[in-house]
Amino acid sequence: MLPTSHLAVLLNEIDESFRPCSIRVFFDGTLGAGGHAERILSTHAEIQLYVGVDQDPDALTIAKSRLQHWGSKMAFVHGNFSDLDVILDKLGVDKVDGALVDLGVSSMQLDRPERGFSFSQLGPLDMRMDPTNDLTASEVVNTWSEAELGRIFREYGEEKRWRSAAHALVEARKAKPLESTQDLVNVLRPVLHQPKRPGINPLTLIFQALRICVNRELDVLESFMPRAIDRLSEKGRLAVISFHSLEDRIVKNAMRFAASDKWETTGLGGIFRDKDPIVSLLTRKPLCPSADEARDNPRSRSAKLRVIEKI
């Protein structure tokens, strides 16, 4: 029995973002359990093709069942949203009228111990969103150098005690390989002291860093943003939901650059090179969950939604 507890984040805000649009083709790069897709398909009867992509084959199984009413309109794809061009080309699609990605790990993945995403549940050191990928968290923590581990804890986890965490892992694995999430917790808890005041558990940041590394999440997002903007039709919209500052910074910078009338500032004295903006920003500041949503779905609290429209 596959879990179906995942709640679509910012569902009403996504609905409102695309409601004014006339959509023929929609690209959903993180289909998940199909919550956003169900709302968009229900609202836009004019949709002819809904491309639903997900790395997780279990998520696709759930979504296929949930969206069977729209089966004739659906194209389900097991893959990564960064392969947007390849996916659309295979389907014979040039431009899309709407695109959505909901970044980060889903409740379906967090709640399954065998996936190894959560430090609060015993599981293997896996953390792959796509179980067909080669790299696992086990390989990272057991074979990567102390310098490499420190870098990902610093850059992807923004954990202040990254040096201590990396050193502790390298020392611990000399005795025996680290095989489970509990092994990781046992090694790191003594060096990553939980603050007495409420705040993010530092173990959360370490697990986040490993997950981002294993799934190349930031590289994938950097690659996706300009491609997605390029494949939007006139008046087409792109919506991105992010869950931490590293993701949001990439999304914000890509959207602002596409909306800017300047390439860059270069040369002596700072010479501005003009360009034509290709999108308009529909969200100057990101949309965040309401108090009610944050209460009902605590995992939504850090979500930020940014939306642009192709000029």
| DSSP notation for the chain | -----PPPTTHHHHHHHHTT---SEEEES--TTSHHHHHHHHH-TT-SEEEEEES-HHHHHHHHHHTGGGGGGEEEEES-GGGHHHHHHHTT---EEEEEEE-S--HHHHT-GGG---TTS--BS---SSTTSS--HHHHHHHS-HHHHHHHHHHTT--TTHHHHHHHHHHHHHHS---BHHHHHHHHTTTSPPPSSS---HHHHHHHHHHHHHHTHHHHHHHHHHHHHHHEEEEEEEEEEE-SHHHHHHHHHHHHHHH-SEEEEETTTTEEEE----EEES-SS-B---HHHHHH-GGGTT-EEEEEEE-
pLDDT value for 225:
98
pLDDT value for 267:
56
For the chain, which residues make up each domain, given as ranges?
Answer: 11-102+219-310, 109-215
Half-sphere exposure of 173 (CA within 13 A, CB side): 21
Q: How many CB atoms lie within 10 A of CB 300?
A: 21
Ranges in the chain, pLDDT < 50: 1-4
CATH 3.40.1800.10 corresponds to the domain 11-102+219-310: no
Q: How many CB atoms lie within 10 A of CB 99?
A: 25
pLDDT value for 275:
86
Identify the CA nearest to 249 among candidates 31, 103, 148, 107. Answer: 103
pTM (predicted TM-score): 0.89
Spatial neighbors of 5 by CB under 8 A, at least 6 apart, are: 107, 108, 111
Looking at the chain, how many residues does it have? 311
Q: Would you state the structure tokens that stand for residue 125, as one six-digit string?
A: 């050191």
pLDDT value for 163:
95
**CATH code, residues 109-215:** 1.10.150.170
pLDDT value for 4:
42
